[in-house]
Chain A
Amino acid sequence: MEAETVAKRFIILGFSCLLLSISFGLIASLQYIFPGLLADRLSFQHTRPLHVFLAVNWIFSCVTGIVYHYIPRVGQRFLYSVTLARVHFFLSLATILIAIGGFLTGHFSGREYLEFPPWVTVIIVAYWLLFFTNFIGTVKPRLKGAPVYIWSWCTGLAFFLITITEAHLWLLPYFNHNIIRDVTVQWKANGSMVGAWNMLIYGTAMFAMEQISGNNKIGYQKTSFAFYFLGLTNLMFNWGHHTYIVPASPAIKQVSYIISMTELILFANIIMKWKKGLLKAHADEYMLSTRFFKSADRWILLNLGLAIAISIPYVNLYTHGTQVTVAHAMGTTIGINTMLLLASVAYIFEGMLKPVAKKYVLAGLTTMNISLLVFWLSLLAAGVVRSIGQYEHTYFAKVSANILPYLRVFSVAGVFLVTGVCLVAFNMLAVIVKKQKAVPLPVKERKTTLQ
């Protein structure tokens, strides 16, 4: 098995997680509307962790595959160790299967977003160390004066290790027996973990944009580095906007509010600049990838508006714990993370897609964009109605009844979203699983040991 195969396997694993995740998401959304649906075997208690865990694993597996694909090109040599990568792949697969098996049989750790048993984390940390070793071993020649995407990947890799360890501090009585520390640890570690995966994704996006535009300077530009440092600060402090209602230190909340709004602005700025310079370069050759990047850009702006609004402490007091937060979470993971990942996957495999498949992918993207907008707006509407209910101390049963019409729209939009994702995923998968080499990169080939 060569390096390219490992990269492809991770991307295929990612797509499988995505397809399973949206299926469970759809069932979960229907369970809001039909409370008895699959109540004995696959109730909401199971479908939500399955959906969220698999969505997170879509992001991690896909970005891992993309990084494995890119680093031999960045380091201009073969992958440091294919064996380590292979072990990494099988351990990742095993972890996902163990977690799914656990959820289906009702074994939960009961921790938000990390609902698999805590011992599974040992395997995760082990394979992540293998990944890190392989990464450093491969890009070593470029570490001196490295472009921003190498910094971004390194930071993402390191912070994932730190945050997943930190998230398990709750196993110590000092945290477990004090609810304020316990909640703080979950917000802080999980919030920073999102920052870690953003670092990995933005790194891959930046690399692909550099290649498509043919402008090797993007990776060294001041704005790119400014964005990186901003991302780093966000990764460390941004989580604080979730804790306005936790009675911990108010200073932390103020720091976080000041910082939290800046990251996305800069990234949108980088994409816009890139779009301006695009015409001269390879935008036609990489039409699909470019379209995904442009969608991500729009979603960044929409989510930014929402994020700014809900980070205002007074607004946050009411919207927190409502579907507004779900809109924020899914708006960013689908609109930004998923779009950027699909842009990178399209960039790698676009040359192998037949014109008709490209048409389907584009139709899928349009379906995704329209349905996601309805999906997102209906969640916002449900959240606002619930906030008003909470403000007026309305009974929960009444609030639930009031938001039901919006959740119906959400579910229907979800069906279209699933359709859009399937159109994109199956058409891309059809070429990814084929046994052919990915198209070579359009960069001016540097002297390389890679054939």
Chain B
Amino acid sequence: MKKIFVIITLFSAYTLYSSWVYSYGTDCNVQMSAEAIRGKATWHAKNCQNCHQVFGLGGYMGPDLTTVITDKQRGAAYTKGILMSGGNRMPNFHLSEAEANELVSYLDYISQTATSQSN
């Protein structure tokens, strides 16, 4: 009985702590548009995370894309260009125009979140 009580207490503490982690300070000022949501699905399906990081998460072959759209040197047009044609190591995924726009929209959402919310 005592053991079950300890287990339930620990489990509840973990759940409470996790809820706090996920809800406290995580509200974004920026909303994700329907287009960005579709872009995210493509991001998943093409496994972009394998070579790119967003907020530090992801593989290391390619550059970090957290602020790719808001950076002065890079930006939306440049991003779309490389998405459509690929690069030296960056594969050409033969994306449709719509898919590329959606991905840019998703990356834009991330960039806006990163620049509007920093602590």
| A and B physically associate | yes
Q: Which residues of A contact B84 (CB under 8 A)?
A: none
Q: List the B residue with the shortest CB-CB distance to A326.
A: B60
**A315 on the interface (CB 8 Å rule)?**
no
Given A45-B51, A180-B26, are A247 and B114 also a contact pair (CB < 8 Å)? yes
Q: Which 4 A-B pairs have the closest CB atoms?
A: A110-B44, A249-B25, A108-B47, A396-B63
Given A44-B51, A397-B88, are A112 and B57 also a contact pair (CB < 8 Å)? yes
Residue in B49, B50, B118 with the greatest tally of chain A CB atoms within 10 Å = B50
Within 8 A of B (CB), among A27-79: 31-32, 35, 39, 43-45, 48-49
Chain B facing A: main interface SS: loop
Q: Which residues of B contact A175 (CB under 8 A)?
A: 22
Residue in B40, B49, B56, B63 with the greatest tally of chain A CB atoms within 10 Å = B56
How far apart are the CA atoms of A43 and B53 in the complex, in Å? 18
A39 contacts B91, C-beta separation under 8 Å: yes
Q: Which residues of B contact A110 (CB under 8 A)?
A: 43-49
Q: Which residues of A contact B5 (CB under 8 A)?
A: none
Given A109-B44, A180-B113, are A321 and B64 also a contact pair (CB < 8 Å)? yes
Given A44-B50, A177-B32, are A247 and B91 also a contact pair (CB < 8 Å)? no
B55 contacts A246, C-beta separation under 8 Å: yes
Q: List the B residue with the shortest CB-CB distance to A185.
A: B22
A45 contacts B91, C-beta separation under 8 Å: yes
Q: Which residues of A contact B113 (CB under 8 A)?
A: 179-180, 247
Within 8 A of A (CB), among B33-83: 37, 40, 43-51, 53-64, 73
Q: Which residues of B contact A185 (CB under 8 A)?
A: 22
A188 contacts B21, C-beta separation under 8 Å: yes
**A358 on the interface (CB 8 Å rule)?**
no
Q: List the A residue with the shortest CB-CB distance to B118.
A: A247
**A311 on the interface (CB 8 Å rule)?**
no
How far apart are the CA atoms of A31 and B50 in the complex, in Å? 14
Given A166-B18, A179-B109, are A249 and B55 also a contact pair (CB < 8 Å)? no
8 Å CB contact of B61 from A44, A162, A169, A242? A44
Q: List the B residue with the shortest CB-CB distance to A49.
A: B50
Q: Mark B1-43, 1 if CB is under 8 A from A, else 0.
A: 0000000000000100110011011111000100001001001
Residue in B40, B51, B55, B59 with the greatest tally of chain A CB atoms within 10 Å = B55
8 Å CB contact of B54 from A178, A183, A242, A248? A183
Q: Which residues of A contact B89 (CB under 8 A)?
A: 31, 35, 44, 400
8 Å CB contact of A179 from B21, B59, B110? B110
A184 contacts B21, C-beta separation under 8 Å: yes
**B96 on the interface (CB 8 Å rule)?**
no
